[in-house]
Amino acid sequence: MRKHSLRVIFGLLVTAVFLLNVMGGVHIGLLHRLEALTYDLRLHFSASRAVARDVVIVDIDEKSLAEEGHWPWPRDKLAQLLDTLFNRDHVALVGFDVVFAEKDNSSGLPVLEHLARGTLKGDARYRAALRTLRRRLDYDGLFAQALKGRRVILGYYFTFHGENRARVNGMLPPPVFPAGAFRGMGIPFAKATGYGANLPRLQKSALGAGHFVPLPDIDGVIRRVPMLVEYHGAYYESLALAMARAYLGDPPVIAGLPPGGGDYHRLEWLKIGDRKIPVDGRVMALIPYRGGQGSFRYFSAVDILRDRVDPAALAGAIVLVGTTAPGLMDLRSTPMGAAYPGVEIHANLIEGILHHRIKARPAYVFAVEFTTLLMTGLLLSLWLPFLSPLKSTLATAGVLAVVIGVNWAAWNQNLVLPLAAPLVMLLLLYALNMSYGFFVETRAKHKITGLFGQYVPPALVAEMSRDPEQFNMEGESRELTVLFSDVRGFTSISEGLPPKELTQLMNAYMTPMTQVIHKHRGTIDKYIGDAIMAFWGAPLRDDAHARHAVLAALEMQAALAGLRARFLQRGWPAVHIGVGVNSGAMSVGNMGSQFRVAYTVMGDAVNLGSRLEGLTKPYGVEIIVGEATRRLASGIVFRELDRVRVKGKAEAVAIYQPLGLQGEVDAAVEAEANAFAAVLALYRDRRWDEAAARLAVLREAAPESRLYALYWERIAHFRVNPPAEGWDGVFVFQTK
């Protein structure tokens, strides 16, 4: 009976923790991430995946850029685009997922005006010709004229605390709610500190404008868009809301406040005409994604400009002008894809508003979650301890089925109820009762896994769990080794691949590189775009941290050589990386801010490791290590490359190239390394002719070597311009 009592108490404690999480007394970050995951799964399962008909996208895609030139285009071309859409294709409405904040001087008109005021001021013929040309060369004027009298909504953006917050540019449209409209209600609107808007002459000519501010959730995924943003006390509508209003005949925006007043002040919906738009506590609307990219009809902008589209395909349509070209950086992470066009986010919202498909997640759903957790938690906490394993399984499965069924029914009625917390709590109570002793005995191992599992390989986590008390994430100073790797020419690679293939390539590259680092007992610090940062010697101490890091660097290059053949078979470019490795005293621990922390390393030795990676390119080698790493890494053959002083460091440091394990390096390779060491000694002794003679032999055997070419150029320079007295052979780099 006492055993049952403990399980009941533990069950009630678990229920209490989940209830406190709902009330804000505790914060369980995992639950928020899981809630986002369950939301995404429900979105995938319920997505229609049918292509929408009434909202279309005119895409400034790679094809358009190839035929019409790089972005931004001259605005006379955009005026032509509008003329074609309205006059020939008879579209209903056009919105721009683009901001026109700067003047278009591409016609050269400012230069001609300057000449008319200066050098050619007295030339009557020139001034007369300029008067004739001025209207045709005023591209902003042509675009403004094309906007006038047409249903066109421009886009602009707001900036928020921490991102150029003082920046103000262009002209804002009138707010949909004036300053003070919601004063004293405590509604947590997204509050902007600056904005980037359109030129006043363009804004005044357009029907209106809306902001494109899809604020990502904490995991970086865009699921919501603020319908209203507060700036200087006034409230401005989103691009989707502005376009939906324009399509419906510009009805006013009505704020849906709960009836009766009281202490509860939250906007539950916004209404335009007969369309009600549910919003959450921050006045954000959930994006009703129809499916993956391509859920809307796309038309290349260049095809519109060159009359290659059937006008009937666009007649009466709502048109969004945006871009999917990777180089224009409007690809977002969404539940439907990691590289989803931003313009299609707005298309989903517009279509959702018009067809009543916006799902509601009002602020009061916390009460539903609290009630669900309380009822199911009490039921299972008081029931499961007294049931057999089979009956416990059946009882838990039955409660789960009821919770999921009710949640799915609400979802189909456009109401989003929390799902992750009830599911996790039910499964946790079940697992607690089924495996009580096991969980108690292994709680230390689970703690270590939770702390370090995302950074270090499972084998190290298991090793750490044998003595968990000695491990924590508090900051300390240790001698460690850090590794930086970076893909060479990544910009060219990213510009040459579609977003989906670029994502596949990076996954195919990052996975084996991470496996190699884990194999050699390394800790992944972070992925920085195409770069990898890792370190050795923490959290688990490793006396051979330098050796393991160098072996990992060598194996990464070997693994990459095998990957290149597979990449070429798939039509992908060959990937090459540079790797820098350095050892020294570093600060290691959890570092960051109150919003986000990470287990990482910092210090001069870390900075030098990054610099060494950058030196691999000028020296034409794949890996460079610092002299501290060279000294600590036993059993490895190195070739000294130089003594350098990198930017930001006062002291010179010797740099080396690892060649392989002693006894495994080819004799010819070791002989070449010894020959280069002799050249280096002669070079530092200013014996230029002898150094050049020996270097010439090496260059003849390896004419493609960038290292040998580098020293050949230096020797040639010093023959003519000898270094000053006291020269120590150190080369100083002025760039990072």
| β-strand partners of 480 | 584
Q: CA 71, CA 619: separation in Å to the nearest integer? A: 36
Q: Are residues 478 and 569 in the same domain?
A: yes
Report d(CA 368, CA 376) in Å as an integer.
Answer: 12
Answer yes or no: is 251 within a domain.
yes
Farthest CA pair distance, the chain: 108
What is the reported pLDDT for 256? 84
Do the beta carbons of residue 1 and residue 379 sit within 8 Å? no
388: Cβ contacts below 8 Å, ≥ 6 apart:
none
Boundary (domain end) residue, out of 300, 322, 354: 354
**pLDDT bucket at 464, cuts 50 / 70 / 90:** low
Task: Tell me if 456 is assigned to some domain.
Answer: no
Token pair 């495994």 in the structure block, residue: 664
| Residues 186 and 168 both lie in one domain | yes
Same domain, 38 and 119: no
Nearest to 179 by CA among 219, 133, 223, 236: 236
Instruction: Quote the pLDDT of residue 441.
Output: 42
- Listed residues 615, 647, 665: the one ending a domain: 665
Final residue belonging to a domain, choices 665, 682, 713 = 665
Using H for helix, E for strand and C for coil, what is the string for 53-85?
A: EEEEEEECCHHHHHHHCCCCCCHHHHHHHHHHH
18 and 93, same domain (yes or no): no
Q: For residue 651, report the phi and psi dihedrals to the nearest 5 degrees.
A: -90, 145
Radius of gyration of the chain (CA): 32
Q: Residue 523's CB: how many other CB atoms inside 10 A?
A: 26
**130 CB neighbour count, 10 Å cutoff:** 17
User: Peptide bond before 618: cis, by omega within 30 degrees of 0?
Assistant: no
In a domain, 718, yes or no: no
The verdict on 110 and 211 lying in the same domain is yes
Domain containing residue 587? 473-665
Q: Which amino acid is at 253?
A: V
29: pLDDT confidence band, cut at 50, 70 and 90? confident
**Single-letter residue type at 303:** D
Mean pLDDT on 372-395: 84
What is the Cα 58 distance to its own chain's centre? 25
Question: Is pLDDT at 439 greater than 60 in this prediction?
Answer: no
Long-range Cβ contact pairs of 5-9 (< 8 A, separation 24 or more): 6/436, 7/384, 7/385, 7/432, 7/433, 7/436, 8/381, 8/382, 8/385
| Together in a domain, 608 and 540 | yes
Query: Cα(355)–Cα(342) distance, rounded to whole angstroms?
Result: 20
Gap between the Cα atoms of 13 and 231, Å rounded: 44
Looking only at the bridges linking them, the beta strands covering 577-592 and 597-602 are antiparallel
What region, left, alpha or beta, does residue 516 occupy, with left being phi > 0 and alpha being psi -120 to 50 degrees?
Answer: alpha
Shared domain for 61 and 129, answered yes or no, is: yes
> Is the bond into 259 cis (omega within 30 degrees of 0)?
no
Residues 644 and 580 in one domain: yes
- Answer yes or no: do 17 and 115 share one domain: no
Please give the Cα distance from 323 to 306 (Å, whole number): 18
Question: Do 344 and 371 fall into the same domain?
Answer: no
Question: Residue 390: which region, alpha, beta or left (left: phi > 0; alpha: psi -120 to 50)?
Answer: alpha
Tokens of 169: 């540019």
Residue 322 lies in a domain: yes
- Domain assignment of residue 122, yes or no: yes
CA–CA dist 661, 635 (Å, integer): 6
Burial class (CB in 10 A: 0-12, 13-18, 19+), 466: exposed
In a domain, 146, yes or no: yes
Of the listed ranges 103-112, 187-196, 218-227, 441-450, the one predicted with least confidence: 441-450
State the Cα angle at 396 between 392 and 402, rounded to 5°. Answer: 150
Q: Which of 34-43, 225-234, 658-667 has the lowest mean pLDDT?
A: 34-43
pLDDT at residue 608 tops 80: yes
Under 8 Å between Cβ of 628 and 536: no
Give 463's pLDDT tier (boundaries 50, 70, 90). low
Kindly tell me if the per-residue pLDDT of 281 is higher than 60. yes
Task: Pick from 142-156, 332-346, 427-441 the range whose average pLDDT is largest.
Answer: 142-156
Checking if the pLDDT of 469 tops 60, the result is: no
* Dihedral pair phi/psi, residue 45, rounded to 5°: -65, -35
Is there a single domain that holds both residue 149 and residue 267?
Answer: yes
Q: What percent of the chain has pLDDT over 70?
A: 88
Taking the chain, what is the end-to-end CA distance rounded to the nearest angstrom? 69
Say how far apart CA 207 and CA 150 lie, in whole Å. 7
Contacts of 603 (CB under 8 A, 6+ apart): 584, 585, 586, 587
Tell me what pLDDT residue 444 has.
46
Strands (E), 373-461: none
pLDDT at 632 over 70: yes
Domain-located, residue 566: yes
**Above pLDDT 90, what percent of the chain?**
49
155 and 281 in a common domain: yes
Answer whether residue 338 is part of any domain: yes
The predicted-structure confidence for 675-729, as pLDDT tens digits, reads as follows 999 999 999 999 999 999 999 999 999 999 999 999 999 999 999 999 888 788 8
Structural domains in the chain (count): 3
526 or 465, which is more confident? 526
**The CATH number of the domain where 599 resides is what?**
3.30.70.1230
